[in-house]
A and B are shown apart, each in its own frame.
Chain A
């Protein structure tokens, strides 16, 4: 599995943009970048995924660098309810499962 590296924690002020980085330098050509988040005691929630191009949906934007070795998840206007652990995952490639790391605990402060 391609390994991902994320900061263990980040803080963000409510109403500001939250930019969560992820390094995946060993990503292979056919692997997608996925982002999930998990609020305490709940199942992981799918946010967004992408291969090469930047992606945007109603929840977030995903910026992938041209060499695909890193990406940034952007929550444009963070709210208190966005406080969660955010997981950056690279899959699927040759693997049949998504491998979750420790993620980034994003705390949105009032």
Chain B
């Protein structure tokens, strides 16, 4: 079956703009989590949605937000972009909510965001 799909794969934005990234989870998966990956900080957890509710949130400013739709698809939004927001943004899906014993998350290919 199809894996986690993220769009767009690459995008370039100007400082101060906003951006919306989209994620379609594996069919049947109800949890979607988002991660940011940069060379300096590695993979960092942004937030997780399960059944349209944000269940957990990492240590990122309020400019980073997300939502999940009834079909489990998710979007994340970054407002007032800064140069430091340039990163690979990864979406991952799983059957159960994060923390569930033995739960496995599957990542998409990511969206490369460059802020200029």
Query: Does B104 contact A100, Cβ atoms closer than 8 Å?
Result: no
Q: Please give, as numbers and ranges, the residues of chain B lying within 8 Å of A98 by CB-CB distance.
A: 45, 98, 105
Contact B97 A96 (CB under 8 A): yes
Contact at B42–A102, with CB atoms within 8 Å? yes
Is A92 a contact partner of B100 (Cβ separation < 8 A)? yes
| Whole-angstrom distance between the Cβ of B74 and the nearest chain A Cβ | 15
Residues in A20-79 with C-beta less than 8 Å from chain B: 30, 32, 34, 36, 41-46, 49, 51
Shortest CB–CB separation between residue B59 and chain A, in angstroms? Answer: 11
Contact residues on A (Cβ < 8 Å of other chain), bracket? 20 to 34
1/0 contact string of B8-41 vs chain A (CB within 8 Å): 0000000000000000000000000100000000
Closest Cβ–Cβ distance, residue A53 to chain B (whole Å): 13
Contact pick for B102, options A32, A44, A46, A95, CB 8 Å: A32
Contact call B102/A96, Cβ cutoff below 8 A: no
Is B106 at the interface (CB under 8 A from chain A)? Answer: yes
B106 to chain A, nearest CB (A): 6
- Map CB proximity to A onto B43-76 as digits: 1 under 8 Å, 0 otherwise: 1010010000001101000000000000000000
Whether A94 touches B99, Cβ cut-off 8 Å, given contacts A42-B109, A43-B90, A101-B42, is yes
B residues sitting closer than 8 Å to A (CB atoms) are: 4, 6, 33, 42-43, 45, 48, 55-56, 58, 88, 90, 92, 97-110, 112
Q: Which residues in A have some Cβ–Cβ distance to B below 8 Å?
A: 30, 32, 34, 36, 41-46, 49, 51, 92-102
